[in-house]
Amino acid sequence: MPLEELDWPVYQYEIVEAYHGRKWPGGLFLPKGVDPESPPPEKRWPKPVRWYKPLHCAEEILQDVSRLDPSDPQDLLAFVSRWGRLGVGASYPRPKDPATGWWGMYMLADLTDPWGTGQTDGVTNTAEHLGDIKELNEGLYTLQHRRASRYSWPQLAWALDGRLGGVKLSVRPAENRLFPLYRIRRLLDGLYLQLWERATEAHQLRRCRECQSLFVPDRRDQRYCKTNGQQLCARRASLKRFRRRGKRQPGMSPAK
């Protein structure tokens, strides 16, 4: 799939409850070293721990999503500290309008990010979107394996179609031709794009027997996922089997 390069920053985040003098329900992910009461202009923010190209490792990021618990703030904190924020901003309930009786939502970038740094996401917003990706991924898996699913194929198609608004089709010139490109601006859009590829390229998902994540196998007999290209889950499962055999055989000393 032709993709445009996207460099995405990763910070060491912490969860803060107040930012710019306002309390945010659920808290915000803020880079460590930033004063939540008086954040500096963009040029004076801490340097990212690293920059990376999320489209090159979107499969591994989706595996991480399938392992985490979206309701656990510490799981979410570990995720954004490894891969960066999704780019969804944050929202809070606006006081009820006395004329209409309605409640409204304002985005963080509109109210508390006057320099346009955009380095802050809400914990609740992040949980909602990662939970949505995990649910769609599970729906795809159950449909592929013809198991009971909350989705039908038309429903999954409709759901994915509605989440690709941040993906833009573009072109790049080359010698005597044009190359098609998919352009994204946020990590979130990259994950939805990768999920779309999983669904449309007929990649048969499998569930790792060790960590229970969903992954696209490299070979027909692969039973365990990989992390950073390493077969960590396969090694852990092998070590567990070895220890169980050691317990059944008194003469063997199980590995420590």
Q: What is the reported pLDDT for 111?
A: 37
Instruction: State the DSSP string of 120-159.
Output: -EEHHHHHHHHHHHHHHHHHHHHHHTT---S--HHHHHHH
Question: Is pLDDT larger for residue 134 or for residue 117?
Answer: 134
Q: DSSP class of residue 219?
A: S
Q: What is the reported pLDDT for 127?
A: 96
Q: Is residue 75 part of a domain?
A: yes
103, pLDDT greater than 70: no
Average pLDDT for 97-123: 56
92, pLDDT greater than 70: no
CATH number (domain holding residue 189): 1.10.3300
Q: Please state, in angstroms and rounded to a whole number, the distance separating the CA atoms of residues 30 and 120.
A: 6
Residues 85 and 52 in one domain: yes
Mean pLDDT across the chain: 82
Percent of the chain with pLDDT over 90: 38
Question: Is pLDDT larger for residue 102 or for residue 237?
Answer: 237
Q: What is the reported pLDDT for 116?
A: 39
List 177's β-bridge partners, or say none: 174
Question: Is pLDDT larger for residue 193 or for residue 91?
Answer: 193
Question: Is pLDDT larger for residue 42 or for residue 218?
Answer: 218
Residues 152 and 251 in one domain: no
pLDDT digit string, tens, across residues 189-204: 999 999 999 999 877 8
Percent of the chain with pLDDT over 70: 80
Q: Is residue 3 part of a domain?
A: no
List 158's β-bridge partners, or say none: none
Give me the domain span that covers residue 69. Answer: 8-218
Q: What is the reported pLDDT for 126?
A: 94
Residues 249 and 197 in one domain: no
Residues 110 and 48 in one domain: yes
CA separation, residue 148 to residues 60, 141, 206 (Å): 26, 10, 16
Q: Is residue 2 part of a domain?
A: no
Q: Is residue 60 part of a domain?
A: yes
Residues 57 and 173 in one domain: yes
Average pLDDT for 39-47: 71
Q: Please state, in angstroms and rounded to a whole number, the distance separating the CA atoms of residues 199 and 81.
A: 28
Tokens of 68: 């985490």
Residue 149 near residue 139 (C-beta atoms within 8 A):
yes
Residues 153 and 245 in one domain: no
Q: What is the reported pLDDT for 112?
A: 40
Q: Please state, in angstroms and rounded to a whole number, the distance separating the CA atoms of residues 29 and 13.
A: 6
Contacts (Cβ under 8 Å, ≥6 apart) of 99: none
Residues 29 and 61 in one domain: yes
Residues 35 and 114 in one domain: yes
Helices of type H across 145-206:
153-161, 187-200
Q: Is residue 1 part of a domain?
A: no
Q: Please state, in angstroms and rounded to a whole number, the distance separating the CA atoms of residues 52 and 43.
A: 20
SS3 state at 95: coil
* Count of structural domains within the chain: 2
161, pLDDT greater than 60: yes
Residues 87 and 143 in one domain: yes
SS3 state at 188: helix
Residues 177 and 98 in one domain: yes
Q: Please state, in angstroms and rounded to a whole number, the distance separating the CA atoms of residues 146 and 42.
A: 50
The pTM score is 0.81
Residues 158 and 46 in one domain: yes
SS3 state at 246: helix
Question: Is pLDDT larger for residue 113 or for residue 239?
Answer: 239
Tokens of 102: 């309605």
Counts of helices then strands in the chain (DSSP H, E): 7, 11
Residues 248 and 140 in one domain: no
Q: What is the number of other CB atoms lying within 10 angstroms of the CB of residue 208?
A: 21
